[in-house]
Chains A and B, each alone.
Chain A
């Protein structure tokens, strides 16, 4: 059971989808029940992972990836593709977020979807499996399959159940993302053949790439390594989306059905940031430390923060406003990632979770008004607090969480990211405070656009007669918010478990990316931080060997120019 827990979590939604195929399509309620049961089951089945994972965190399990399933090259041995699943703290949190949001959004679709109900739920459950697969795959081939596979259901969700411009939005989403994926595919192939030229082994195993990919910088020079970095960067930056690759997002969000928006914002965008963390950072440390690449990535993050907030401020459509606020929030996430500090990375992952919770909730909130009034124009509303008080209260809490009010989740992530950026001595030739100072206005603007929205929609008296008869939330609708509210308060009040879970992967990552880390010499900590180094020095080596450990192999592999490598050295490298 424990050995296959990841597969079980991964395929539960798919089983539901297959089962749904056998239900007659006229039987809408049965379809809804089955889909909801499977979505809830998907969430409940993932819950045992929490104590199991926590146990491993507490026991200080040094393995970087836990619950590993399958071995390298076991799927298509001839090309070296394997069905390998495994998670670390980062993917663990994202998986829990995915199962939770999957359940919430399927529950929220009960009355929203009336036509082609069966197809809708089938695609939604397939999407769920695709997303989980992306976060679990430890094999690049498998990863790419899931990465592409989850595009199709999302495309159909927008294209069939979307709003008036759904085709434009769906095609834009699909093509834009696909363009990035193709570049990534090229990058993957490059890594694949490079790995072969170094070790004489064809494999897509991620752990194998962790060992060889950083050598590309020395093997092929900075220019090629930077291009390779960019090939991954575009794929992920489009997905995040970072400025200026973000314009598919507002369109897709505005046209997508509510549940689609929730999943899109809550989970799909995180694949981009996850990609940065999982691939870009450990593969290309030298690219980040030399040249101006990191500088421009940081600039784009800062622009996204401020620009996204400014554009949100002036939106007339609620959903578009929330979509642009996502651009701003994800800007914080990328800022934290490329600060390359333990704080920045922890904060960034946490902020990704927070964004999934808060922005997911915001889309649900917009969806509830849309379902009642079939418009998202802000000017159509006003005084909604008078008719829907429970709704107004929940909205207020979620707005506050989104704008980063302390004791709610958003603050923890934002604060840690800003701190992590500020306290990094040097980021691309500028002190950390330089970047933080640019990012901080985003916090002010977040309050401005959200509160202004709240004022225009909820405050005042009901001026539009169509709004007078709106009914407040039904118990089912409240139920969709309850888990999100609980998570928002939990992360806000007691985020320590999350930091504990992130400790090992983040420290490993920082050790891999940075030649020098503060923990290497933790001595005169004023607050008395101790014990970190001894715990993680070893795991950093065993998992993603720090570049220095790989260096000798690199040197020997570089000179024989890959083809004429003496066979005697090859096995030694393989063991490395």
Chain B
């Protein structure tokens, strides 16, 4: 039990690296920095592998319980005094552990986060070799690993929130890594603040859970949710889950809070790969999957999740069709794929959603790292209009990216095919026909995905070279520290899908028994929802698993259709861009310029937000949004509130002046000085006698004396 008992070391190892960089990083050489920071992540990965292996053994003997390790009480006291009444009137105690939990769900995240994280750390050694702030970059990356692992391994929502905000902070720091650029710091702020909006929802959702369940520990919450105590469709649970989903929308870049993710590409490319593609942005999916016991009690929330997911998928994919920045295409692709994941969660196919997270982590990290390698080769150029014909000059990058593209487009047998197909099938298989609309949206998105991904491949690696001569001269394949992770990820993109080999296909090739090992592994986390679904009346949402037996035929058809869509997208992209030369024409622009411009400008959403919510742009001379409110409040404060204070001061002074006048002229003037003036006038004649000469006085005295003497002598 060495690994499980010390599971807290998994997040603490990278935290140690980050702290080390914080205190000593400035004085260290790049080699030392790399050794420490990559070393701790490698250790964390090995530790995580050990922990998961141990857990699998432990769980087999313990009825597939989650493993919990509580280190200390974080908020509150051990005896507890933060008491409150639950919603049902019973008393409960608010107490948040610094505790860790390992179950199949967190095990999967743990493995791919540490694994992909480790590869990206290695990749960064090469990518960042010539950059300033090397130690800072690796310190932030380690801090990110700490936060992400805390998020994954927490045993309660509040500690998950710690990681949740922590990854947001690291995302902020890393997007703003090139802080000299205004665009980078703008993007960093945007990411943090938009995430904070989601976090506000998360906080409220969390309190709803505490109010309803009396605890924030997953085990307690799940036990309470599954106890049958709550009605399906309970409005309070619906509120709680919707608020949690607001948090997920922020972190996982769903409508309407997705706006920060494309801008986040201002960060260094390894960051985009690690944080904004493979790991952090899937935290929302993790959170919803983690709360599956709650979500299944709230059909409205499930519908919302599914609809938001589907809409985000097609919305982002459509923007991705026309973007020219290689990283932006991938960013919108990420948003779109995250939409797929939420679609899966929303239709109750939690395992399918998680599976897509898992495969997506590999191929999207690979795509970003490949894009980084391309940018590296192109001396920093990111605009695909200035690329072309790179396949023979950087072959490793080309081949690995090509594999990733096949994977994301859903071409069998690459990883993305299995996961995406599972999602599409599950969304079709939900019983309500209205849900078929979601399948159509997903299907259209699949086509778009294939199109924009192959557009990227053709514009970058095929077609005619369009770069300047200088740049062309410098093109070179990246160093081994960068290509090695690419190769590893390519292998994973190729084979990871087989972990979730669909049952139906397996039967087709004559294999019986459990082939979808992924779903089976997750069963202890999700399978318990089955009774809840069973209780629900038909027509509500439902997990598709139970239809599998009877409708294999449909499944084959859908599978065939989606592969067809991918192939068609590939073909269309090839037709349009295979021979693209300087000044090539975008097919959408040729078809309809207004549509093209709308897509190119991302539906003008950023501008709209600036007008309405942030107030950075004025609408007809009037500033709205937060800044508008801020200006209005400042005016109100300076003029009304403080004005009232100053006015009362002014009033006091006016009254005081009047009093002073009255005092000076009436009380003092008439009452006091009046008699004085009278006395003075009367005394005037007496004053005439006073010369001030001493001798005169003496003479008068003498004369008077003589006078008296004579008077008394002769009288």
Contacts and interface: CB of A to CB of B under 8 A. Distances in A.
- Quick check: do A and B touch in the complex, using CB within 8 A? yes
Nearest to B206: A419
Interface stretch (A47-55, A264-272, A495-503): A495-503
A378 interface: no
A416 B75 contact: yes
Nearest to B614: A448
A530 B94 contact: no
A527 B90 contact: no
Given A314-B630, A444-B197, A460-B180, A526 B189 contact: no
Most buried by B among A307, A527, A531: A527
B79 interface: yes
Nearest to A303: B633
Interface string B630-658: 11011001000110110001000000000
B437 interface: no
A18 B192 CA distance: 51
Given A460-B182, A519-B83, A406 B94 contact: no
A441 B200 CA distance: 7
Interface stretch (A21-29, A199-207, A432-440): A432-440
Given A423-B210, A527-B214, A532 B79 contact: yes
A451 interface: yes
B156 to A, nearest CB: 10
A526 B227 CA distance: 13
A507 B213 CA distance: 23
Contacts of A424: 84
Given A343-B84, A405-B169, A433 B642 contact: no
B224 interface: yes
Contact of A459 (B78, B94, B179): B179
Interface string B159-189: 0011001100100100010011110111011
A452 B210 CA distance: 33
A530 B207 contact: no
Nearest to A400: B169
A494 interface: yes
B207 A451 contact: no
Contacts of A341: 84
B657 to A, nearest CB: 17
Interface in A317-355: 341-343, 346
A342 B83 CA distance: 6
A419 B92 CA distance: 13
B556 interface: no
Given A415-B203, A416-B75, A496-B72, A529 B92 contact: yes
A503 B81 contact: yes
A59 interface: no
A507 B81 contact: yes
A526 B214 contact: yes
Interface string A238-254: 00000110111000000
Interface in A71-111: none
B75 A412 contact: yes
Contact of B193 (A383, A437, A447, A526): A447
A20 interface: no
Nearest to A531: B79
Contacts of B211: 422-423, 433
Contact of B204 (A440, A448, A522): A440
A347 to B, nearest CB: 9
A530 B203 contact: no
A422 B179 contact: no
B627 A314 contact: yes
Interface in A173-193: 175-176
B93 A527 contact: yes
Contacts of A436: 204, 207
Contact of B80 (A523, A524, A525): A525
Contacts of B207: 418-419, 422-423, 433, 436
B85 A518 contact: yes
A343 B214 CA distance: 14
A314 to B, nearest CB: 4
A342 B76 CA distance: 10
A311 B633 CA distance: 6
A458 B211 CA distance: 41
Contacts of A415: 75, 158, 203
Given A406-B165, A518-B91, A525-B93, A530 B192 contact: no
A192 B196 CA distance: 50
B202 to A, nearest CB: 10
A573 interface: no
Nearest to A390: B26
A425 interface: yes
A494 B193 contact: no
B460 interface: no
Contacts of B75: 412, 415-416, 495, 499
Given A419-B94, A527-B220, A517 B214 contact: no
B677 interface: no
B440 interface: no
A114 interface: no
B186 A455 contact: yes
Most buried by B among A311, A406, A441, A445: A406
Most buried by A among B220, B224, B633: B633
A535 B95 CA distance: 18
A385 interface: yes
B192 A342 contact: no
B77 interface: yes
Nearest to B642: A247
B422 interface: no
A176 B633 CA distance: 22
A281 to B, nearest CB: 17
B629 interface: yes
A519 B94 CA distance: 12
B651 to A, nearest CB: 13
Contacts of B192: 447, 451
A407 interface: yes
Contacts of A412: 75
Contacts of A376: none
A76 B91 CA distance: 48
A172 interface: yes
Contacts of A500: 77
A531 B197 CA distance: 38
B83 A517 contact: yes
Nearest to A312: B630
Interface in A435-474: 436-437, 440-441, 443-445, 447-448, 451-452, 455, 458-461
B658 to A, nearest CB: 19
Given A342-B81, A529-B93, A407 B186 contact: no
A282 B85 CA distance: 22
Interface in B215-240: 215, 217, 220, 224
A177 B315 CA distance: 57
B199 interface: yes
Interface of B: 22, 72-85, 90-95, 158, 161-162, 165-166, 169, 172, 176, 179-182, 184-186, 188-189, 192-193, 196-197, 199-200, 203-204, 207-208, 210-211, 213-215, 217, 220, 224, 626-627, 629-631, 633-634, 637, 641-642, 644-645, 649
Interface of A: 172, 175-176, 243-244, 246-248, 307, 310-315, 341-343, 346, 383, 385-386, 393, 400, 405-407, 411-412, 415-416, 418-420, 422-425, 433, 436-437, 440-441, 443-445, 447-448, 451-452, 455, 458-461, 494-496, 499-500, 503, 506-507, 517-519, 521-532, 535-536
11 contacts: A343-B82, A406-B166, A415-B203, A423-B210, A448-B193, A459-B179, A499-B77, A519-B81, A521-B91, A528-B93, A532-B93
Q: Which 9 A-B pairs have the closest CB atoms?
A: A529-B93, A529-B80, A518-B83, A423-B84, A406-B162, A313-B630, A314-B630, A422-B207, A247-B642
Given A311-B633, A448-B626, 12 more contacts: A244-B641, A313-B626, A314-B634, A405-B165, A433-B208, A444-B197, A495-B75, A499-B77, A499-B81, A518-B84, A525-B214, A527-B214
